[in-house]
Structure formats: C-alpha cells, structure tokens
Amino acid sequence: MQKSDYQPPYSINDRILNQTAGIIEILAKSSFSQNIKMAPMLRRSNRIKTIHASLAIENNSLSFEQVRDVIEGKLVQGPPTEIMEAKNAFLIYEQVYSLNPYDLDDMLRAHAILMKGLATDAGMFRSGGVGIYAGDQLMHMAPPAHLVPTLMQSLTKWTLDASNTHPLIKSCVFHYEFEFIHPFSDGNGRMGRMWQSLLLFQWNPLFASIPIEVLIKKRQSEYYEVLGKCDQTADSSLFIEFMLAVIHDTLKDMSASVQVGVQVTEQVKRLLEVFLDEPLSLQELMEKLGLKHRPSFRESYLLPAIRHGLIEMTLPDKPNSSKQKYRKL
C-alpha cells in the first residue's frame, strides 16, 4: 500500500516542541502512572465529566448531576433530545477504546451510536454542503460533500503513515483536519474530540482516564477562536499549540489531584465503605465511622472524597444547608 500524498499544513515550532516534551515528562513519571492505576474509581467519574463537558460544548444544558443520572438509568427531567445525547455519548465512550482509529468503518459505527435518534444520516458521511456560522456570519465553509470520503480516507491514511510525527502532535493535526473537513452533517465536534482521545489512547492507555474535554470546555471560546484563526491561515500550528497546552494543563491538574488522593486512600476508603444506597448527612457519616471531631473528618475524609469525584453533595448550590447530605458516585 502506498503512503498517503495528503500533507496537512502545519509547522513545528519551539512552543510545540516544549509542550510535547513537558507532556512526555509528566507521563514518564512513575508516580503519575502508578497513582492513576491506584485510583480506578476516578475513571468512571472522569468518564462522566468528559461526556458532560463534550455535550456542554455543543450547548447541551444538562448538568453534571443530570448526565450522571441519565447514565445510571435514573429518570431525569430535561429536553428529550439532550437526554438522548447523553445516553448515546455514554454508549460510545464505553466502547470507543476498543475501536481502530485508522478504520473509517469503525468511525462510521461510532457516529451511528453517537447520533442514533438524533440525525437521519447517523453513521454516514454527509451528502450535502455545510457551513459553520456565528450568528449570521459564515465562519467556515466545509469542502463539498462529494470530496468527504476521499478526504477522510487520505487523512486517516496520513495519520497511520506519519510514523515520524509524534502521536501527541499527530492527534492534534487529525483533530483540526477532521473539524475542517466536517465529514458529518452533525456531531463533528464530539466525534473530533473523541477521536483525538482514541488516538492518544493508542499511544498511551492512561488517556482513557484523563478528562481533556473538561479543560476544553473551560477554554471553549479560545477553542473556537483558534479553529477560526487556523482556517484563515490554512495552518493548524496554532491549534496544535492550543491542544497541547490543554493536555499539559489537564495532566498537571490530574497529577496533583491523584497524588493527594493516593495520600488519603485509607481514610477515603473507610468513608466510601460506610455508604449504602441512600445519601447520608455529615453527622450520620461521622457516627458510622466512630468519629467525633468534625474539622478532622471534613479535612481528612469528606473534602478529599468530594475533590476526587468519589462522593457529591445532594445540595451542591447550598453547601452549608442543614439538609445537606452526601452520596457515593
């Protein structure tokens, strides 16, 4: 099979090289990888955070708690379409890391799951033209539909063949080019971000536990602004810089968070063991643990568990409410 002639326009600068080196350094630390593996409960929590953030970027109004409840099969009051989006996203994220990122059939299958009941052409490349607007202003006109299959085949082949390009950089290039081609009538943002995560997972399985989407959501305006600037310059270097910064910052935050979690594992473990199905008040938790000193309980048990997404408040908007209770995630 011949190598791809497809050559995405980008250049490697010192910022990209330094960001790549910084990410590799964090991942190479034995304490980081060991701590991630020692905190398996973070994986489900981070998966929910990832799904919620990716949906929120696309203007889904469901809260984190509502997304979690949808995933757990609970009745949720909300727009039916948005609930369907959450259900579909969970289904595909549960199996995405078993897919082949270089197989277009796998990509189409993933889109079919993601957009089931939401798009009439779920699982198929778009058949018509598509433009991206900000209000009434056209920001990006995607390539004609008849070119999409060839462009996607060429991009996928380039991604597979580019063995001399570091996977971190390659995944960012793929993400940008995917959004530029805009191969589907709907769901392109979710698919592009998810496929970059899959490419990163293929390089380092720890990325299955790293919620990059959450930080993209926090920098959503910049995310779209950078995509627009790259369209204008026909060069994805700025987007590569942006995404590498997001990945680096996510790893830094997670490294610090998990390290603290490992340090309090025994105390948090004791706290989690006293939960059954129903939420418990602070006093009930302390009684079950045989503890009497409230400040110590909060600092050593309760707050670390909340910080690491292991338990949550039933009244998050009223943290000091006398009716406040806590439930295990």
Q: Using the 8-state DSSP alphabet, how is residue 249 labeled?
A: H
Question: pLDDT tens across 254-298, in order?
Answer: 766 555 454 556 788 888 888 877 899 999 999 999 999 998 898
In this predicted structure, the answer to whether residue 38 has a pLDDT above a threshold of 60 is no
- Quick one: pLDDT band at residue 1, thresholds 50, 70, 90? very low
Q: What are the φ and ψ backbone dihedral angles of 131, each rounded to 5 degrees?
A: -125, 150
**Exposed / middle / buried, residue 251 (Cβ in 10 Å: 0-12, 13-18, 19+):** buried
Considering all CA atoms of the chain, what is the largest pairwise distance in Å, rounded to the nearest integer? 71
Three-class SS state of 280: strand
Measured in residues, the chain has a length of 329
Domains and CATH numbers, the chain: 42-128+139-261 (1.10.3290.10), 264-328 (1.10.10)
- Cα separation of the two ends of the chain: 48
Q: How many CB atoms lie within 10 A of CB 143?
A: 15
**Exposed / middle / buried, residue 88 (Cβ in 10 Å: 0-12, 13-18, 19+):** buried
Please tell me the pTM assigned to this model. 0.76
Helical axes 237-263 vs 14-28, angle rounded to 10°: 20
Question: pLDDT tens across 111-148, in order?
Answer: 999 999 999 999 999 999 887 776 777 777 889 999 99
List % helix, strand, coil for the chain (3-state, nearest 5): 65, 5, 30
In this predicted structure, the answer to whether residue 325 has a pLDDT above a threshold of 90 is yes
Q: Nearest-5° angle of CA 327, CA 323, CA 266?
A: 35
Query: 147 is written with which tokens?
Result: 């070119």
Place of tokens 């590498």: 244
Alpha-carbon gap, residue 15 to 293, rounded angstroms:
50
